[in-house]
A and B are shown apart, each in its own frame.
Chain A
Amino acid sequence: MVTATPPTESRPAPPRDRCVTGIDGLDNILHGGIPKGSMVLLAGAVGTGKTTLSLEFLVRGAEAGERSLFLSVTESSVKLTENLSAFEFFRHDLLEAGSLVIVDLPDMYSRLGLDHEELTTEEIGLLTRSILALVAETGAQRVVLDSLTSVGYRIRREERIRDFMLTLGQGLNRLGCTTLLVSEVASSEGRYSAHGVEEAIVDGVILLGNASRRGDILRVLQVVKMRGTSHSRAQYVMELTPIGLLMAPHLKGNRPEGG
């Protein structure tokens, strides 16, 4: 609905350096998609739709022939597979064919023997290399880490988080991967990540949230930053449906700026 542009069929082909998310509304907001190889922070409070958007991003990619990898800390792969079935366009054979791979990060932690609460610099290096090796092995072109926040809890120190993200980002970019890093923020916070350094490192920030209109709550999405493309900075209202995310402009009426 957002979509002042015509439906998919008649839209001009996007440039080849774009990762077309396959989420119509989002691709329109991003004027064609996320620049390929970008690392994007997907920030929002609990329940704002971060996991759902991430899953659709991967399924749409897998369907379009781009292998996709979901690294999950917060929810088990069993639970996520259940969530996937809510999408009408999801096909189980994507999982069977390895086009869509879901990995429980806690399993990787224990395989690597990373069982301290706080990881050492060496252990962070080991984790980063293992993730990159997995991406290379699966041939993934789309990666989601759900969530950066939970990995961050085990890295703790700001400068180590910065290093982790820089190394991971460079590696993923070299592999041609477009990555979403999920960031859990409290709804009251005016920030996009736990430490505040994260949003400076990434190429893009997509913020999910809630907007209230006289007591009614609407889900909203805003692209705050995206390097390498022009994009709308407006807020859009979003709905999670069995045919995927749908977006419409957030109506302002005569609402004063920022109101």
Chain B
Amino acid sequence: MTEGSEIGERIRSLSPASAVAIRMNPREYADDYFAVLQSALKERGDGEDVHTIYVSVTNPCGLVWSIAQALDVSPDRISFVDAISHTMMNYREPLPNATYVESPRMLETIMLRVEYLLRRHASARPMLIIDSVNSLAIHNPQALLTEFFHILVNNLKSRQVLTLLLIVSEDTVSELDQLVSLIVDETIDVVRPPG
């Protein structure tokens, strides 16, 4: 693989109307995370008419947005649903392209904000990124989370929306991996080019 790396290639070639788990290695989180953002936001997100809806639960949207800016992503190509900044008391300078949910436990509100943004960008080809399954699992009981993903993902699939679920895990048999495997069409492990 050249430049784009394997993960970039895989994400670029995903069909809309699919739900895909992107697995990052906890020991190489920072590098993996950057590779995922680069592939998803820049390489895939730059495609014709693509609009990215980014649900931030792990990192506040301010941080994700600064990475996106460094990648030269245009602000009209991405909207954030931030469900963590309030909880982290990190809400001083709200982004104009972000909507803030008071807590990561308000799963229905997250769904509704996504719905709102989908309607707002009705003419675009939307891509939803949920960052991350792990963080949602910290704040929500598993049964609730399963129901949430089930409703959200099926709804988005029927509307031709590509959904990426970011997950940090080492072994494919963890409870979270199993939960996610019931929802997604495939799982992609982040493999970066050496060096």
A250 CA to B147 CA, complexed, in Å: 10
Main secondary structure of the interface of B (DSSP, over half): helix
Q: Is the Cβ of B147 less than 8 Å from the Cβ of A248?
A: no
| Selected contact of B115 from candidates A1, A213, A252, A254, CB within 8 Å | A1
B111 x A216 contact (CB < 8 A) = no
A217 CB to nearest B CB, Å: 9
Is B134 in contact with chain A by the CB < 8 A criterion?
Answer: no
Give A6 to B158 CA distance when docked, in angstroms.
Answer: 8
| Contact bitstring B131-156, A, C-beta under 8 A = 1, else 0 | 00000000011011111100110010
User: Which one of A1, A252, A253 lies within 8 Å of B114 (CB-CB)?
Assistant: A1
Tally chain B residues at the interface, Cβ within 8 Å. Answer: 28
**Which of A79-87, A134-142, A238-246 lies at the interface?**
A238-246
> What is the bound-complex CA distance between A3 and B155, given in angstroms?
8
A214 at the interface (CB under 8 A from B): yes
In angstroms, Cα B159 to Cα A252, docked, is: 24
Q: How far does the alpha carbon of A7 sit from the alpha carbon of B115 in the complex, in Å? A: 12
Interfacial residues of chain A within 98-141, with CB under 8 A of chain B in the complex: none
Assess whether A253 is in contact with B108, with CB atoms less than 8 Å apart.
no
A253 & B115 in contact (Cβ 8 Å cutoff)? no
Does A1 lie within 8 Å of B111, measured CB to CB? yes
Chain B residue at minimum C-beta to C-beta distance from A247:
B112
Is residue B12 contacting chain A, with contact meaning CB distance below 8 A?
A: no
Which chain A residues border B102 with CB–CB below 8 Å? 216
Query: Which B residues are closer than 8 A to A by beta carbons?
Result: 102-103, 105-109, 111-116, 119-120, 140-141, 143-148, 151-152, 155, 158-159
B148 and A214 form a contact (CB under 8 A): no
Residues of A within 8 A of B146 (CB): 253
Q: A252 contacts which chain B residues (CB < 8 A)?
A: 144, 147
Closest 7 CB pairs of A and B: A253-B144, A237-B108, A253-B143, A1-B115, A254-B143, A239-B112, A248-B111
Contact of A218 with B158 at beta-carbon distance under 8 Å, contacts A1-B115, A239-B116 already known: no
CB distance from A113 to the nearest CB of B (A): 48
- 28 residue pairs of the A-B complex, CB under 8 angstroms, read A1-B111, A1-B112, A1-B115, A1-B151, A4-B155, A6-B158, A7-B159, A213-B105, A214-B105, A216-B105, A218-B106, A218-B108, A218-B109, A237-B109, A239-B109, A239-B116, A241-B112, A241-B116, A243-B120, A248-B112, A248-B151, A250-B108, A251-B108, A251-B144, A251-B151, A253-B143, A253-B145, A253-B147
B106 and A248 contact, CB distance less than 8 A:
no
CA distance A59 to B64 in the complex (A): 39
Q: Provide the residues of chain B in CB contact with A218, threshold 8 Å.
A: 106, 108-109
Q: Which residues of A contact B114 (CB under 8 A)?
A: 1
**What is the CA–CA distance of A216 and B105 in the complex, to the nearest angstrom?**
8
A100 to B45, CA, bound (A): 43
Known: A1-B111, A239-B109. A253 touches B141 (CB 8 A): yes
